[in-house]
Amino acid sequence: MHTSLKKKLVELELYLLKADVRVSIQDLDLLIHDDFLEFGGSGISFGKKEVLEQLPREKCPEFSASAFELRHLSCDVAQLVYKATMKKPGEFITRYSLRSSLWRKSQGRWQMIFHQGTPCEPF
Protein backbone atom coordinates (compact mmCIF):
# COMPACT_ATOMS: atom_id res chain seq x y z
CA MET A 1 0.00 0.00 0.00
CA HIS A 2 2.74 2.45 0.97
CA THR A 3 4.58 2.03 -2.36
CA SER A 4 1.43 2.31 -4.47
CA LEU A 5 0.24 5.35 -2.50
CA LYS A 6 3.61 7.05 -2.96
CA LYS A 7 3.50 6.33 -6.68
CA LYS A 8 -0.04 7.74 -6.94
CA LEU A 9 0.70 10.94 -5.01
CA VAL A 10 3.97 11.59 -6.85
CA GLU A 11 2.04 11.16 -10.10
CA LEU A 12 -0.59 13.67 -8.93
CA GLU A 13 2.04 16.13 -7.69
CA LEU A 14 3.91 16.02 -11.02
CA TYR A 15 0.62 16.33 -12.88
CA LEU A 16 -0.08 19.60 -11.04
CA LEU A 17 3.26 20.97 -12.25
CA LYS A 18 2.35 20.50 -15.93
CA ALA A 19 1.55 23.62 -17.96
CA ASP A 20 -1.66 22.23 -19.50
CA VAL A 21 -3.02 21.26 -16.08
CA ARG A 22 -2.14 24.59 -14.47
CA VAL A 23 -4.31 26.44 -17.03
CA SER A 24 -7.28 24.07 -16.63
CA ILE A 25 -9.76 25.25 -14.02
CA GLN A 26 -11.53 21.88 -14.30
CA ASP A 27 -8.37 19.87 -13.58
CA LEU A 28 -7.34 22.18 -10.75
CA ASP A 29 -10.81 22.00 -9.22
CA LEU A 30 -10.64 18.19 -9.15
CA LEU A 31 -7.11 18.04 -7.72
CA ILE A 32 -7.35 20.77 -5.09
CA HIS A 33 -9.47 20.29 -1.98
CA ASP A 34 -12.05 22.95 -1.11
CA ASP A 35 -10.21 23.64 2.18
CA PHE A 36 -6.84 24.07 0.43
CA LEU A 37 -4.25 26.43 1.91
CA GLU A 38 -0.83 27.31 0.54
CA PHE A 39 2.09 29.16 2.06
CA GLY A 40 3.97 30.32 -1.02
CA GLY A 41 7.69 30.90 -1.32
CA SER A 42 6.86 34.62 -1.43
CA GLY A 43 5.45 34.44 2.10
CA ILE A 44 1.88 34.97 0.90
CA SER A 45 -0.84 32.49 1.81
CA PHE A 46 -3.86 31.72 -0.33
CA GLY A 47 -6.66 29.22 -0.82
CA LYS A 48 -8.40 27.32 -3.59
CA LYS A 49 -10.38 30.33 -4.79
CA GLU A 50 -7.18 32.30 -5.45
CA VAL A 51 -5.54 29.31 -7.16
CA LEU A 52 -8.48 28.89 -9.54
CA GLU A 53 -8.48 32.62 -10.31
CA GLN A 54 -4.73 33.21 -10.69
CA LEU A 55 -2.93 30.03 -11.77
CA PRO A 56 -4.63 29.67 -15.19
CA ARG A 57 -3.53 33.25 -16.04
CA GLU A 58 0.15 32.72 -15.20
CA LYS A 59 2.83 31.56 -17.60
CA CYS A 60 3.95 28.18 -16.34
CA PRO A 61 7.49 27.94 -14.99
CA GLU A 62 9.76 25.05 -15.91
CA PHE A 63 9.79 22.64 -12.95
CA SER A 64 11.82 19.63 -11.94
CA ALA A 65 11.15 17.61 -8.81
CA SER A 66 13.11 14.88 -7.03
CA ALA A 67 13.80 13.10 -3.75
CA PHE A 68 10.15 12.36 -2.98
CA GLU A 69 9.34 10.99 0.46
CA LEU A 70 5.93 9.92 1.68
CA ARG A 71 4.60 10.12 5.22
CA HIS A 72 1.29 8.27 5.64
CA LEU A 73 -0.35 10.27 8.46
CA SER A 74 -3.73 8.50 8.64
CA CYS A 75 -5.94 6.35 6.44
CA ASP A 76 -7.03 9.42 4.45
CA VAL A 77 -4.14 11.91 4.85
CA ALA A 78 -0.59 11.69 3.53
CA GLN A 79 2.32 14.11 3.26
CA LEU A 80 4.61 14.25 0.27
CA VAL A 81 7.93 16.09 0.71
CA TYR A 82 10.43 16.71 -2.07
CA LYS A 83 12.98 19.03 -3.63
CA ALA A 84 12.12 21.18 -6.63
CA THR A 85 13.71 23.58 -9.04
CA MET A 86 11.81 26.25 -10.92
CA LYS A 87 12.76 28.55 -13.76
CA LYS A 88 10.23 31.26 -14.62
CA PRO A 89 9.60 32.11 -18.29
CA GLY A 90 12.07 34.69 -19.56
CA GLU A 91 14.41 34.27 -16.58
CA PHE A 92 17.77 32.53 -16.41
CA ILE A 93 17.72 32.07 -12.64
CA THR A 94 16.95 28.62 -11.25
CA ARG A 95 15.11 28.77 -7.93
CA TYR A 96 15.45 25.92 -5.45
CA SER A 97 12.87 24.91 -2.86
CA LEU A 98 11.89 22.29 -0.33
CA ARG A 99 8.24 21.42 -0.78
CA SER A 100 5.59 19.79 1.33
CA SER A 101 2.09 18.82 0.25
CA LEU A 102 -0.67 17.29 2.31
CA TRP A 103 -3.05 15.09 0.36
CA ARG A 104 -6.47 14.03 1.63
CA LYS A 105 -8.60 11.23 0.26
CA SER A 106 -12.10 12.58 -0.14
CA GLN A 107 -15.01 10.91 -1.97
CA GLY A 108 -12.67 8.22 -3.31
CA ARG A 109 -10.01 10.52 -4.75
CA TRP A 110 -6.87 12.20 -3.46
CA GLN A 111 -6.85 16.00 -3.37
CA MET A 112 -4.17 18.43 -2.23
CA ILE A 113 -5.30 20.21 0.92
CA PHE A 114 -2.07 22.03 1.85
CA HIS A 115 1.14 23.02 0.11
CA GLN A 116 4.25 24.92 1.15
CA GLY A 117 7.31 25.80 -0.91
CA THR A 118 10.29 27.06 1.08
CA PRO A 119 13.19 28.63 -0.85
CA CYS A 120 16.51 26.99 -0.09
CA GLU A 121 20.15 26.88 -1.19
CA PRO A 122 20.95 25.00 -4.40
CA PHE A 123 21.14 21.24 -4.01
Q: How far is CA 55 from the centre of its chain?
A: 12
Using CA atoms, how far residue 70 sits from 37, 48, 59, 81, 113, in Å, is 19, 23, 29, 7, 15
User: Mean of the per-residue pLDDT values for the chain?
Assistant: 95
Domain that residue 104 falls in: 1-119
Domain count, the chain: 1
Model confidence pLDDT, tens digit, residues 26-42: 999 999 999 999 998 88
Model confidence pLDDT, tens digit, residues 59-82: 999 999 999 999 999 999 999 999
d(CA 32, CA 28): 6
d(CA 28, CA 15): 10
Q: How far is CA 44 from the centre of its chain?
A: 15
Domain holding 91: CATH number?
Answer: 3.10.450.50
pLDDT recorded at residue 1: 52
Task: Give the pTM.
Answer: 0.94
